[in-house]
Amino acid sequence: MRHADVNALSELSGAGWDVCIIGSGPAGVAVAAELSGNGLRIVLLESGGHVRQDFADALDEVENVGWPRVEDQWLVRNRIVGGTSHTWSGRCVPFDAIDYEARSWVPESGWPVTAEEVRPYLDRAAPYLGISRGTGYNDEGFWKIVQRQRPVPMFDESRLRSYYWAFSRDPDNAREHMRLGNHLPRWAGDDVMLVTNATVCRIAANDDATLADAVEIAAPDGTRFRLGARFIVLCAGGIETPRLLLCSNTTLPAGLGNARGQVGRYLMDHLRGPVASFPLAGTKNLRRQFGHYRIAGGQVFVHGMQMSETMQRDETLMNTTAWLEGRITPDDPYNALKRWARLKPELPGDALSVLRNLGLLTSGARDYFVARNGLPRKIERLNLVAMCEQLPDAESRVTLSDQRDRLGLPRARIDWRVHEQEERSLRRITQLVTEEFSRLGLPVPIADDWIRDDAPLPQDFRDVAHPTGTTRMGRDPARAVVDENCLVHGMRNLYIAGSAVFPTSSHANPTQMVVALAIRLADELKRAAHRNMNICTDIHASV
Ligand SMILES: Cc1cc2nc3c(=O)[nH]c(=O)nc-3n(C[C@H](O)[C@H](O)[C@H](O)COP(=O)(O)OP(=O)(O)OC[C@H]3O[C@@H](n4cnc5c(N)ncnc54)[C@H](O)[C@@H]3O)c2cc1C
């Protein structure tokens, strides 16, 4: 991979690029890496640099006019090489079969691609995410993979089922999740040019807005550049992607791809938070059963629960999962040892934490090395945490604000909505876990006050860094922004990768699907690039 700063664009902009990728998060990295080695000239434009910068952070600020959201945008999106994988938590899981379905109780649901079509891409996503397998572990097979006996008796599966997530692990640094920007130089050859500090401000199009013919780029000092490419792939994340299309309003006043007013609509995230807690005494075995499982090679999984499909269908609920999460005490001995390993112990506190918790350390070592479980941390609270899918709602949306950022671009105005069906799903899974644990003789959680008192969803359920659906995929241009190949409806060469294209959000953390669809898009682009050489002539004539 080659690398240049934005100011080199004065020489690079006329280089005859085949593909211009906007954004170097997991989506942009996967597209670049997959296209590399196919005889294409690829430029990857990234607004951030290799380290965090105040200037870049400020470009992400938003105006919020809807349900309360996290204010500090760095906590939910990272403008830096590698995008938000810079701080992600690495939890991976494929979508479930029901997520692709058109469900009568979820208006506007239904994907234009099937689970079978997406499955090979979920598998191909695994190496990018540092997981040993992309699919095939979320059923009975899990216990074979982790070489453990399935605990019996288990849930009544017409109500609740076991569910498993895989955790990302950087093969070069087992303590880290994959930060995809770090691996880009290994995955991409010299046919990929990464340009940092290059913020795309606008995508320009021909007169009938069928061809994106150039991107306009701003350097941090405001200097502007223009760059043309045969194909443009927008990978700027679930908020910036619609913002950039809406800002690209020279040819179409409503914004590029927005002739039918769909860009920015259907904003979803996940509602995730504690719904109950367990009295701590007597939960050791429970924590082991619903804890971490390590396999040879270091892959870690976690065991939780999912509301059954039957419950979702019978009670018109959203796809929802739950798992156990401990709140670690300040004197946890493993944190103390970690600081020691980094040669940064906090003394004398860390020494005392280790000495006072020798029992936990010895039993923990046995659990970790012999039983291959997770580390039994010292916790002060054990929560049941739930995460639920959101309804696609056209009124939940990103538009442009009257406020402007330092480059003079309108900020994103976010009107994010939450719905009764989601609140009901969180309540129901809490009840199901309570009833099933009680039936199985397991420790029973105590529901949080808002659930017990039938009070409204607390406003501290904020967005969890999974902005989704804002340029949704669908065959009907009147109700979707991109088609099933992620090509913007009505355009010949502008594609989108990222969670913005998901028509529905599942309960699943989005990044594995983001990378899977990005790989699928790269395959499509390889075909399109070789099929459609004439786009090259059109573009280079117009730049
Ligand atoms: C704390 C945290 C924990 C998370 N944990 C998980 C998890 O456990 N599992 C999971 O699946 N997901 C998790 N996520 C979400 C995950 O990080 C995102 O799903 C993923 O990064 C999305 O990839 P992306 O490439 O679509 O977008 P991003 O990673 O957001 O990348 C977008 C890129 O585009 C660049 N960009 C934006 N605008 C422009 C512009 N105008 N010009 C040029 N470049 C631009 C940005 O700088 C950025 O590099 C977490 C996120 C956070 C913040």
For residue range 253-302, list pLDDT tens digits in order. 999 999 999 999 999 999 999 999 999 999 999 999 999 999 988 899 99
Is the shortest distance between the CB of 60 and ligand 1 below 6 Å?
no
Mean pLDDT lowest for which of 71-75, 358-362, 425-429? 358-362
Render pLDDT for 93-120 as a digit per residue (tens, 0 to 9): 999 999 999 999 999 999 999 999 999 9
Is the shortest distance between the CB of 24 and ligand 1 below 6 Å?
yes
Number of C-alpha atoms within 13 angstroms, CB side, residue 85? 34
Other C-beta atoms closer than 10 Å to the C-beta of 355 total 12
Pairing label, strands 160-167, 91-92? antiparallel
* pLDDT confidence tier of residue 543, bands split at 50, 70 and 90: very low
- Torsion sign over Cα 507, 509, 514, 520: negative
Query: Residue 12: its pLDDT value, please?
Result: 85
Is the shortest distance between the CB of 73 and ligand 1 below 6 Å?
no
State the Cα torsion 58-61-388-439 to the nearest 10°.
60
How far is Cα 36 from Cα 348, in angstroms, rounded to an integer? 52
Is the shortest distance between the CB of 177 and ligand 1 below 6 Å?
no
Question: Residue 240 CA: which ligand 1 atom is closest?
Answer: 38
Render pLDDT for 106-159 as a digit per residue (tens, 0 to 9): 999 999 999 999 999 999 999 999 999 999 999 989 999 999 998 887 999 999
Tell me, in angstroms, the distance from the centre of ligand 1 to residue 237's CA. Answer: 6
Residue 424 has pLDDT above 60, yes or no: yes
- Percent of the chain whose predicted confidence (pLDDT) is above 90: 85
Three-state secondary structure along 204-273? Answer: EECCCCCCEEEEEEECCCCCEEEECEEEEEECCHHHHHHHHHHHCCCCCCCCCCCCCCCCCCCCECCEEE
How far is Cα 262 from Cα 210, in angstroms, rounded to an integer? 17
- Percent of the chain whose predicted confidence (pLDDT) is above 70: 98
How many Å from the N-terminal Cα to the C-terminal Cα in the chain? Answer: 25
Residue 143, CA distances (Å) to 148, 300, 302, 305, 437 in order: 5, 13, 12, 15, 20
Tell me, in angstroms, the distance from the centre of ligand 1 to residue 231's CA. Answer: 22
- The overall pTM is greater than 0.85: yes
Tell me, in angstroms, the distance from the centre of ligand 1 to residue 352's CA. Answer: 39
Average pLDDT, the chain: 95
Q: Whose CA is nearest to atom 51 of ligand 1?
A: 88
Tell me, in angstroms, the distance from the centre of ligand 1 to residue 505's CA. Answer: 16
Instruction: Quote the tokens at residue 48.
Output: 């951030």
CA 211 to chain centre: 29
Pocket test residue of 20, 45, 88 for ligand 1, highest count of atoms within 8 A of CB: 88
Q: Specify which of 340-349, 364-373, 374-383, 516-525 reaches the highest per-range mean pLDDT.
A: 516-525
Tell me, in angstroms, the distance from the centre of ligand 1 to residue 466's CA. Answer: 8
* pLDDT confidence tier of residue 334, bands split at 50, 70 and 90: confident
- Please tell me the chain's helix, strand, coil percentages from 3-state DSSP, rounded to the nearest 5: 30, 20, 45
Tell me, in angstroms, the distance from the centre of ligand 1 to residue 25's CA. Answer: 5
Cross-strand partners of 384: 276, 324
Is the shortest distance between the CB of 494 and ligand 1 below 6 Å?
no
Cβ pair 15, 204 in contact under 8 A: no
What residues contact 383, with CB distance under 8 A and at least 6 apart? 274, 275, 276, 277, 278, 324, 325, 326, 327
